[in-house]
Amino acid sequence: MQPTSLDPPFPRRARRVRNALWVSDHVLGRRATGRLLGGLKSRTDATLAASVASTRGERRPVPAFDGSAEDFVTQVLPAGEPVVLRGAAAAWEATARWSPGFFAEQLGDEPVRLLHMNPEDAGSGRTDGVDTTIGDALARLGEGNAAYLRFVSALMRREDLRGMLDVDWLSARRGPLSPPGNLHLFIGGAGTDTGLHSAVPANLFVQVHGRKRWVIYPPSCSPAFRPPMERAMYFASRFDPDAPDPVTFPEASALPAMEVELEAGDVLYNPPFWWHKVSNPTVSIGVGFRWFPPHLCFRASPTQWLLTYLSVNPPFWVGAQLGLDFTKIFTTRWTRYRPV
């Protein structure tokens, strides 16, 4: 695993044991692992909690970066940590023109599925969603998370809208050995949020309208978040960085994190498998440019890389065929979730 400036002070052996137990949860099921290795798990959890007993969950700003595309590829990608590119998209046509009203006019009749990805849904096994239209969801933005548009794939079909972004600028920062990226549109009302989660793709997130706040942790913090085992390509936790529960999550509540609030025109790089909670202080429109760099994913977290390839809900190869269309991935379940 690539070391980062935010790595928790977990003993190396305890971290390795906890990651091995995580893989065992996937292969055997959490109940079977508990029966066979429950004592080892309890001792390891106690060691992890003791190692951060004197740590306080301070917040550090995500560092800014203003170098060229070549600098990004040679410096940021190998470092494997988030950076914010302030004002990088300020001159793009999308930043000047996009608003909820703009999309109500352009995409109002397009069908969309509103996903259950609120903080309270983490690990609940909910794989369904609400089918509606983009126009209907935009008309209900004031209803909060119930009308949050996530992972909308319309930009991949609408060349005119895609042309309002500088896709060449984004693509130039993928680096070598990386497949083409995918674009996902997010539109949320003030007060909406998505719970703590992580996934395999690298992400350049463009804030187009309003503000969006991110709280970010490195993959090395995974044991502290006690992610439910869903055997899926996506990892989620019930831990809320903004309302830490030291009883249920004794290690996570003590961990430091990065934090950034994006303004319109800012771009955030979130590397593979970095955990993040995202919230919208205002009505917010943003675009995630995601791509899958295998070498960077493995360096970020060999454990999560392995669990991603071992996913069966749906299988990884099905997810690859879906082209990082997360709406389809989240709702294409070959095995209905049960606690395992």
pLDDT tens track for 41-81: 999 999 998 998 888 778 999 999 999 999 999 999 999 99
Q: How many folded domains does the chain comprise?
A: 1
Instruction: Please compute Rg for the chain using Cα positions.
Output: 19
Most confidently modeled of 184-193, 238-247, 321-330? 184-193
Average pLDDT over residues 85-105: 98
Return d(Cα 216, Cα 219) in angstroms, integer: 10
Q: Is residue 277 part of a domain?
A: yes
Tell me which residue range forms the domain holding 281.
Answer: 12-331
Take residue 214 and report the two structure tokens written for it. 């991110």
Residue type, 77: L
Q: Is residue 337 part of a domain?
A: no
Position 313 scores a pLDDT of 77
The contacts of residue 3 (CB under 8 Å, 6+ apart) are: none
Average pLDDT over residues 184-191: 96
CATH classification at residue 266: 2.60.120.10
Q: Is residue 3 part of a domain?
A: no
Q: Is residue 163 part of a domain?
A: yes
Q: Is residue 339 part of a domain?
A: no
DSSP string, 299-310: HH-HHHHHHHHT
Q: Is residue 95 part of a domain?
A: yes
Q: Is residue 16 part of a domain?
A: yes
Q: Is residue 4 part of a domain?
A: no
Residue type, 88: A
What is the model's pTM? 0.92
Integer angstrom CA distances of residue 251 from 20, 42, 47, 99, 194? 18, 13, 10, 40, 21
What's the chain's average pLDDT?
88
3-state secondary structure of 190: coil
